[in-house]
Amino acid sequence: MRHSISLCRLLLAIPLIAALPLTAGAASFDCAKARTKLNRMICADPALSLLDSQVWDAFGARIAGASVVRYAHLRERHSAWRRQRGLFDRTVDALKEDYQRHLAWLNHPLLELEGRYEHDEDLAVQVEVDIDAPAHVSVQGHVRTSGMVRHTFAWVAAARGEPDNHVVSAGNAAQARAAVALHDGNVSFAPSFIGAPPAPVQGCQVEIAFGEDELTLITRGACGAAFAGSYRKRVATTAWVGQ
């Protein structure tokens, strides 16, 4: 008799279980404890809740076994994204697009190359991945003259890796846009110089070979400055300025 009562209770509970929201537990956090408007929006939409979980899993997979420098870079950029998601548009569609772009960044095959590489206090190379093109990165180099940064070369990966050679404003300087593809971990190109190069530029060719948290830069021809040498990736200490 006792077993029959228990079975009846179970059968009565099945419709109630089926009626529970599918999003419960699907997000990266406990939706039963969601207090903010953003978290409640995530829990209320099954697709957005799934994206939240996928982003969390992808971030965990990326930082697993990462070097100290790579971990610091990934944590800083991921934390910045979490603070900024939905800041300007909190519609469900806008949040989904935001999540999808961040997920594409986390899953980019060249993500370990991203970061700021420094040769000394005056020479630096900044690298970003192109989330619309898995074989492309953005490379930007600059020199610091009299305490002010003057860009001497810049390659910024265009959407879907398509060349975009127009010049756009970037503060007091200009910034040239073009796609750069990696082959066997190396890039080779003729840079488009912008700003005010410290010295004449003629027939400049640049090659960059990536290593473990470092890169080696080789120049041929007159490149306006002595960029050649080894660059070490810097541990992130300030907010990332990028795409």
3-state secondary structure 102-120: HHHHHCCCCHHHCEEEEEE
Tell whether the model's pLDDT for residue 128 goes beyond 60.
Answer: yes
Q: Which of 28, 27, 30, 29 is nearest to 45 (CA)?
A: 27
Helix (H, G, I), strand (E, B), or coil: what is residue 53?
helix
What whole-number distance in Å separates Cα of residue 227 and Cα of residue 217?
7
Tell whether the model's pLDDT for residue 81 goes beyond 90.
Answer: yes
Helix (H, G, I), strand (E, B), or coil: what is residue 144?
strand
For the chain, the first-to-last Cα distance in angstroms comes to 67
Please write the tens of the pLDDT for every residue from 140-198. 777 666 556 565 665 543 333 343 443 333 333 344 455 678 888 888 887 766 556 66
Mean pLDDT of all residues in the chain? 76
Question: Helix crossing, 92-106 with 46-63: angle to 10°?
Answer: 20
What whole-number distance in Å separates Cα of residue 122 and Cα of residue 209?
20
Please write the tens of the pLDDT for every residue from 32-43. 999 999 999 999
pLDDT-derived band at 8 (thresholds 50, 70, 90) equals very low
Cβ count near 129 (within 10 Å): 24
CB 127 within 8 A of CB 199: no
Q: pTM of the predicted model, to two decimals?
A: 0.75
What whole-number distance in Å separates Cα of residue 68 and Cα of residue 59?
15
